[in-house]
Structure 1
Amino acid sequence: MTMSLDGAVAIVTGAARGMGAEHVRGLVAAGARVVATDILDEEGRALADDLGDAVMYRRLDVTDADAWDTVVAQAEEAWGPVKVLVNNAGIVMFGPIESLSPSDWQRAIDINLTGVFLGMHAVVPSMRRANGGAIVNISSTAGLQGYANLGAYVASKWGVRGLTKTAALELGPDNIRVNSIHPGPIRTPMIDGVSLDMVKSQPIPRVGEPEEVTAMLLFILQDATYSTGHEFIIDGGTIVGATVDVPDT
């Protein structure tokens, strides 16, 4: 059984660049009509212009509940009920717990976790009108394990993982699947300036590409129709374990 994306109405957050932009391109190629949202207006409009009539750009601060309602209403007015939501927007805050400011902590939680809640909260009535749909929340390997100096990011991404499971339980009867994707290091602006020496010890010793995450997204939407509430990991093997050098004997 597969889910057709031909003509499906989708909303993607954090869509102006990086993984979000690639997700928009992949959805359009699969036949969807996409509301690409972000706060990076220039880049978002350029993406929509490049992809044509199947995409419209709308500014969206994912922490603004009223703005979410507006975007969903605009999607419905233009194309009909929303079938797909990709909660992709996110930020990272660096620093140890003792020096991370409360305001930076709160900003990460507001965007990475509350933004996901608000997106689902806003879109569920529309998905019911569409007789079902699929929500994919972009978490991280930081939603599966700890990382030093990334306390706010880790907490928010674990929260996304748990919220995904609760939503899957609640929305299954409405024919709405909810899953999370957990990328490792992916070549996006978010990792600019970050040391990537860690990838050398992965089973696949390289940084991932945005289109590889999009391929996972499309698999979840189109083919993984009996999966809900689960983690789909795309990390080059980051969290598989550690290699131990065998001592000379």
Structure 2
Amino acid sequence: MCGRFALTSSSADLRNIFSGVDFDDFPARYNIAPTQPILVVIAGEGRERGSNLPDRRAVLVRWGFTPGWVKDPRDFPLLINARAETAIGKASFRAAMRHRRVLIPASGFYEWHRPSKESGGKPQAYWIRPRRGGVVAFAGLMETWSSADGSEVDTGAILTTSASAGISAIHDRMPVVIKPEDFSRWLDCKTQEPREVGDLMQSPQGDFFEAIPVSDKVNKVANMGPDLQEPVVSERTLPAPEKQRPDIGQLSFF
């Protein structure tokens, strides 16, 4: 699951990673929550002949996916995540998987370890970020919902998959991360069928992310400062991530 994330990198950093995308300047966001606007990267509508840059553009959507066939969003559950394993076959996500795959820039995400009631332990929040820093791209889906009066709302969801070894001790799910070399393939909904990009919907290697225990201030949407990511002392010790096998190259997002 992914219920909160952050995007604190500069627009210049995003332009370096998402080649060819013109990002406006924006403030750092340390506590992005469902129903709020999120930045997504989509395939463009065609560049001028001779351009050697990828055809992409950035738009804002509401985090909370609403299928086009829904009559009244108030009567429909808020879909902030979509399971990668089943999204192709789900009525809510089937069309978006085929026609509207997007990338969601993030500096990291928050997750909560919730111990069993029998253990008597307290929930612990974690700030989960790339060990090397920088920006990652979550796999996402987008849908434009149209009301009876003709108004439109662009909505989106984050695809999730089974957590990597380093994160599974906190939660069994995590966002799907798309590598830069796969951006074009993921966004290409004209020639790449959903099943042809299924191999991209994987969790990164166990040591790619690091999990930092933080306070429960992230639970409140009103808290939006960098102090949300300050480490705290946790009673819980996470197991070390699995060692990388020698025959696998280091996963890089830069």
Q: How high is the TM-score relative to the length of structure 1?
A: 0.30
TM-score (norm 2): 0.30
Q: Greater relative contact order: 1 or 2 (C-alpha under 8 angstroms, separation 6 or more)?
A: 2
Instruction: Give the number of the structure whose residues are more often strand, by fraction.
Output: 2
More helix as a share of residues: 1
